[in-house]
Amino acid sequence: MDQIYHLNGFQTKVSFTSAIDLSDIQHPIIVADKKVRPSLEKLMVGSIDKYPVFWLDATEENKSPDILKDIFRFMNRHQAHRSSTVVGIGGGITTDIAGFIGATYKRGCRLQLVPTSFVGMIDASLGGKAAINFDGIKNCVGGFYPAEKVLICQRFLDTLPLAVMQEGWAEAIKMALISASPLLELIRQKPLNIPTILREAVDVKMSICEVDLHDRGQRRLLNFGHTFAHVIEGLSEYSVHHGTAVGVGMRIANALSVERGLLLPSAAEEIGRLLDDFNIPQTLSVCPRERILAKGEAILQQDKKNVGQITLILLRSIQQGEVVEDVDAATILRHLTDYIAQ
């Protein structure tokens, strides 16, 4: 069944499907992760070979201005125009790049996304954020350009490496903890009902984006765990993956929520047990304390959410997040040190 969401004048139709049918798309230009080619050949209605496809090496290094130039040239070569549809097929790296192309080529053409990773299906393909990395800063340049259609085919997850799937669980737990939705109960059930979890997580994300596309209000809650995660990723020079960093970041946010008297210790323990169930590490050994204190603040200040002061998402209770703007860098770094110092 399709679900339609309205985001600031944009309309996104989310379709759950068991096969990828692009036959009704006007002048499609596909940007796809080359790793999903075998799955795509299996799941596609008709042959992928009849479409122009820019096959992408989906790495964070490639999520850069250089790749944009190559794709813009590919679009020119295929005489793309404003009514052409960019179709991004892949994980979050690919859909972020495709979104950027869709938003900017000829001042914006049509855009459809086919997420193939768990993070992509519940998060990255939804809500219009499209960005590339620049000068070593993640997602430094970008904008908001929601796809008109997002096609979710769970069968892509069959080939997703376990570690990458794990990254997605951290994001799903995050969504469950900041929203009053059935998602938390679904995540606690065993065995996990993935199709229902996918639908519910999509609904949580899109319902938040419907009221705050531009990330100035409620959408900031989706950054629960992320302020700490960005520092962990930066200090580890990206050897700690995003999902793991978010997972540990949520543990740190919990501790700080308790310290500030926002969250009951018993609730923090319950959250801790949920994170344990999904094998989120208790602590990480990232770097010496001195390095955290010396380098951490600069990374904190780069955070996109900050407008003058550091913006942090804490929990008031399970399923109720809160935007907090009066925590100083020293307090954040002290808590980080407890969890990630070698």
Rounded CA gap, 45 and 6, in Å? Answer: 28
Q: Which is nearer to ligand NAD, 141 or 164 (CB)?
A: 164
Shortest Cβ 279–ligand NAD spacing (Å) = 17
- Would you tell me which residues interact with ligand NAD (CB under 6 A)? 33, 35-36, 39, 58, 63, 90-94, 96, 116-117, 119-120, 123-124, 127, 129, 139, 156, 159-160, 164, 167
| CB within 8 Å of 64: residues ≥ 6 apart | 132, 133, 134
Q: Which is nearer to ligand NAD, 60 or 297 (CB)?
A: 60
Rounded CA gap, 218 and 215, in Å? Answer: 7
Q: Which is nearer to ligand NAD, 38 or 46 (CB)?
A: 38
Q: Is 1 exposed, middle or buried (0-12, 13-18, 19+ CB in 10 A)?
A: exposed
Q: Which is nearer to ligand NAD, 199 or 241 (CB)?
A: 241
Q: Which is nearer to ligand NAD, 22 or 119 (CB)?
A: 119
Shortest Cβ 223–ligand NAD spacing (Å) = 10
Rounded CA gap, 89 and 56, in Å? Answer: 10
Looking at beta carbons, which residue is closest to ligand NAD? Answer: 92
Q: Which is nearer to ligand NAD, 63 or 335 (CB)?
A: 63
Shortest Cβ 318–ligand NAD spacing (Å) = 23
The gap from C-alpha 161 to its chain's centroid, in whole angstroms, comes to 17
Shortest Cβ 303–ligand NAD spacing (Å) = 14
Shortest Cβ 158–ligand NAD spacing (Å) = 8
Q: Is 323 exposed, middle or buried (0-12, 13-18, 19+ CB in 10 A)?
A: middle
Shortest Cβ 166–ligand NAD spacing (Å) = 10
Torsional sign, CA 234, 240, 243, 244: negative
Q: Is 329 exposed, middle or buried (0-12, 13-18, 19+ CB in 10 A)?
A: middle
